[in-house]
Amino acid sequence: MTAHTVEYIRYRIPEQKSAEFLAAYTRAAAQLAASPHCVDYELARCEDDFEHFILRITWTSTQDHLEGFRESELFPDFLAEIRPYIPHIQEMRHYKPTTVRGAGASVPTLYAWAGGAEAFARLTSAFYDKVLKDDLLAPLFADLDPAHAEHVALWLGEVFGGPPAYSETQGGHGHMVAKHMGRGITEPQRRRWVNLIQDAADEAGLPTDAEFRSAFLAYVEWGTRLAVYFSGPDAVPPAEQPVPRWNWGVMPPYQG
C-alpha cells in the first residue's frame, strides 16, 4: 500500500468570485508543482452547483505536507494567493487510500488488448522455441521444465492485467524471483532475451501499435534487469509481494 496521503479541500465560492478564485489557484499551483512533497493535484468544479469546488492534492505523506511543504520557502507564496479564500473552506482533511481500489473498463488492460490467454500462450511458445535454439540462451535453460512456457504465459498474463492464475497456481512474485537466484545471467544474455521476445511477439501476432509495444517493451526491460540482479551473487531476495501489474503508462491505447 502506498504511503501517499490525499488532501481534500472543499470550497464554496460565490459565483462572482469564481473567476478570481480559479486565477489565484492557477498561480498558486506553480508552488505545488515545484514541491518535491507534492505528487499531483487537481481542482475540480461541481457540475450541479457551480459554487462548489474540491481541491485534491496527493502528498508523499502527511508529515511531508505539514513539515515539508508548509515549512518550505514555497509555502508563503502559495498562501498569499489562496488566503482570501480560506474563509470559504468547508472541509480540509487528509485521507489515506484503502484497499478498495481499481480501474474501470473504459481503457482495456494490456492483457485484453494483446488477445488474452491465447495470445500469451502463443508468445511464450514461440519465444522458447527460439531460446532453445540460441547458443547464448540455451545453456540457461538446459534443465527447462516442459511446463515452463505455460507458466511464463500465466505470469505475463497476470502482469499485464489478466487473471491471477500464476499467483494461484505457482506461488506469486517470490516464486518467480527464486527461479532466477544464482543463475548468473549476463548482460549479453539479457539483451538477447529482450530481442528474442520481441521477435516472438511479432511471430505470435501480438498487437504492433506503438502504445502496446512501448508498454510491453518497458516491462521486458524492467523485468529482465531485475532478473540479472536477482541472478547475481549479491542479490537479496525481496520481501513477499504481489505480482507486479503493468499498465499503459503515459500513453493509453489509441482507439480512433
CATH number of residue 27's parent domain? 3.30.70.100
Confidence of residue 53 (pLDDT cuts 50, 70, 90): very high
- Same domain (yes/no): 10, 87: yes
> If we measure between CA atoms, which residue out of 104, 88, 97, 15 comes closest to residue 54?
88
User: Which residues of the chain form beta strands (DSSP E)?
Assistant: 5-12, 38-45, 52-59, 89-95
Binding-site entries? 151, 175
User: Which range marks the domain in which residue 223 is found?
Assistant: 110-231
Binding-site entries for heme? 151, 175
CA distance 137 to 131: 6
Confidence of residue 200 (pLDDT cuts 50, 70, 90): very high
CA distance 30 to 13: 21
Domain assignment present for residue 225? The answer is yes
- Same domain (yes/no): 119, 219: yes
Domain assignment present for residue 104? The answer is no
Q: Whole-model pTM?
A: 0.70
The answer to whether 113 and 248 have CB atoms below 8 angstroms apart is no
- Same domain (yes/no): 86, 114: no
The answer to whether 3 and 61 have CB atoms below 8 angstroms apart is yes
Question: How many other C-beta atoms are found inside a 10 Å radius of the C-beta of residue 132?
Answer: 12
Domain assignment present for residue 103? The answer is no
CATH number of the domain residue 202 falls in:
1.10.490.10
What is the pLDDT averaged over residues 200-211?
Answer: 97
Confidence of residue 178 (pLDDT cuts 50, 70, 90): confident
Average pLDDT, the chain: 92
Helix-then-strand count for the chain, H and E: 10, 4
* Grid cell digits, residue 98: 484503502
- Same domain (yes/no): 54, 140: no
User: Residue 12: helix, strand or coil by DSSP?
Assistant: strand
The answer to whether 145 and 194 have CB atoms below 8 angstroms apart is no
- pLDDT score of 142: 85
The count of structural domains within the chain is 2
- pLDDT score of 1: 37
Domain assignment present for residue 215? The answer is yes
